[in-house]
Amino acid sequence: MKENHDPEKILLLNRDEQNEEEPKRSRVWWGPRQWRGLRNLVVVLVIYGAYTVAMHVLAPMQHDEHHHESLYWAKKAAWKQRGPLSPEKVEEFYLSIPDPGSALAISREYATHPHVAGSVEDLNDAKVILKLFQDEFGIHASEDIPLYHAGTHESRSATLDIPKYHHPKAWIDQYFPVMNTPLDRALSILGEDGKPEWEADLVEDGDPHDPDAAKYRDAVPTFHGLSADGEVEGQLVYVNYGRKEDYDELIAKGVNLTGKLVLARYGGVFRGLKIKGAQELGAVGVLIYDDPRDDGVVTVENGYKPYPEGPARNPTAVQRGSVQFISLYPGDPTTPDAPAYENATRTDGENIPKIPSLPISWENAQRILKEISGKDVKAALTLNGKASEKKVKLVNHVDTKVIPIWNTLAVLPGHIKNETVLIGCHRDAWVMGATDPTSGTVSIHEVVRGYGALLRKGWRPLRNVVFASWDAEEVPTVSPASSYKLYVSNVGLDLQYGLIGSTEWAEDFPEWITENVVAYINLGHGQLAHPHRSRI
Site for ligand NAG in 270-329 (CB under 6 A): none
Question: Are the C-beta atoms of 355 and 285 separated by less than 8 Å?
Answer: yes
3-state secondary structure of 178: strand
Provide, rounded to whole angstroms, the least separation between the CB of residue 417 and ligand NAG: 8
- Say whether residue 253 binds ligand NAG (CB under 6 A): no
- Say whether residue 152 binds ligand NAG (CB under 6 A): yes
Provide, rounded to whole angstroms, the least separation between the CB of residue 228 and ligand NAG: 21
- Say whether residue 248 binds ligand NAG (CB under 6 A): no
Instruction: Show the CA angle centred on residue 428, arms to residues 423 and 434, nearest 5°.
Output: 90
Question: Are the C-beta atoms of 240 and 383 separated by less than 8 Å?
Answer: yes
- Which one, 399 or 515, has the nearer CB to ligand NAG? 515
Question: Are the C-beta atoms of 525 and 28 separated by less than 8 Å?
Answer: no
Site for ligand NAG in 389-418 (CB under 6 A): 418
Q: How far apart are the first and last CA of the chain?
A: 38
Q: Which of 476, 514, 509 is nearest to 330 (CA)?
A: 476
Provide, rounded to whole angstroms, the least separation between the CB of residue 419 and ligand NAG: 5
Helix and strand tally (H, E) in the chain? Answer: 16, 17
Q: Which of 230, 318, 227, 240 is nearest to 276 (CA)?
A: 227
Q: Which of 469, 465, 468, 456 is nearest to 412 (CA)?
A: 465
- Which one, 97 or 255, has the nearer CB to ligand NAG? 255
Site for ligand NAG in 322-351 (CB under 6 A): 342-343
Provide, rounded to whole angstroms, the least separation between the CB of residue 186 and ligand NAG: 25
Strand order in the sheet with 387-402: 196-199, 178-190, 387-402, 230-238, 261-265, 285-289, 357-360
- Which one, 166 or 305, has the nearer CB to ligand NAG? 166
Site for ligand NAG in 173-212 (CB under 6 A): none
- Which one, 57 or 454, has the nearer CB to ligand NAG? 57
Provide, rounded to whole angstroms, the least separation between the CB of residue 407 and ligand NAG: 16
- Say whether residue 4 binds ligand NAG (CB under 6 A): no
- Which one, 271 or 463, has the nearer CB to ligand NAG? 463
- Say whether residue 56 binds ligand NAG (CB under 6 A): no
Give per-residue burial for 115-130: e unless 16+ CB within 10 Å, then b: bbbbbeebbebbebbb
One of 191, 211, 259, 492 touching ligand NAG (CB under 6 A): 259
- Say whether residue 258 binds ligand NAG (CB under 6 A): yes
Provide, rounded to whole angstroms, the least separation between the CB of residue 374 and ligand NAG: 24
| CB contact set of 462 (below 8 Å; sequence gap of 6+) | 57, 58, 59, 414, 415, 416
Q: How many residues bind ligand NAG (CB under 6 A)?
A: 12
One of 25, 89, 131, 149 touching ligand NAG (CB under 6 A): 149
Torsion of CA 119, 124, 129, 130, to 10 degrees: 110
Per-residue mark of binding to ligand NAG, 476-515 (x: CB under 6 A): ---------------------------------------x
Q: Which of 528, 502, 535 is nearest to 117 (CA)?
A: 502
The residue range among 32-40, 76-84, 147-155, 332-340 that interacts with ligand NAG, by the rule CB under 6 A, is: 147-155
- Which one, 109 or 419, has the nearer CB to ligand NAG? 419
C-alpha 107: how far from chain center: 16
The residue range among 107-115, 145-153, 233-241, 424-432 that interacts with ligand NAG, by the rule CB under 6 A, is: 145-153
C-alpha 270: how far from chain center: 14
Provide, rounded to whole angstroms, the least separation between the CB of residue 346 and ligand NAG: 13
One of 98, 118, 146, 151 touching ligand NAG (CB under 6 A): 151
The residue range among 32-40, 96-104, 255-263, 458-466 that interacts with ligand NAG, by the rule CB under 6 A, is: 255-263
φ/ψ of 441, rounded to 5, equals -65, -40
Residue 204 CA to residue 306 CA, distance in Å, equals 13
| CB contact set of 374 (below 8 Å; sequence gap of 6+) | none
Q: Sign (positive/negative) of CA torsion 483, 489, 490, 492?
A: positive
φ/ψ of 42, rounded to 5, equals -55, -45
- Say whether residue 518 binds ligand NAG (CB under 6 A): yes
One of 256, 382, 482, 514 touching ligand NAG (CB under 6 A): 256
Q: Which residues bind ligand NAG (CB under 6 A)?
A: 149, 151-152, 256, 258-259, 342-343, 418-419, 515, 518
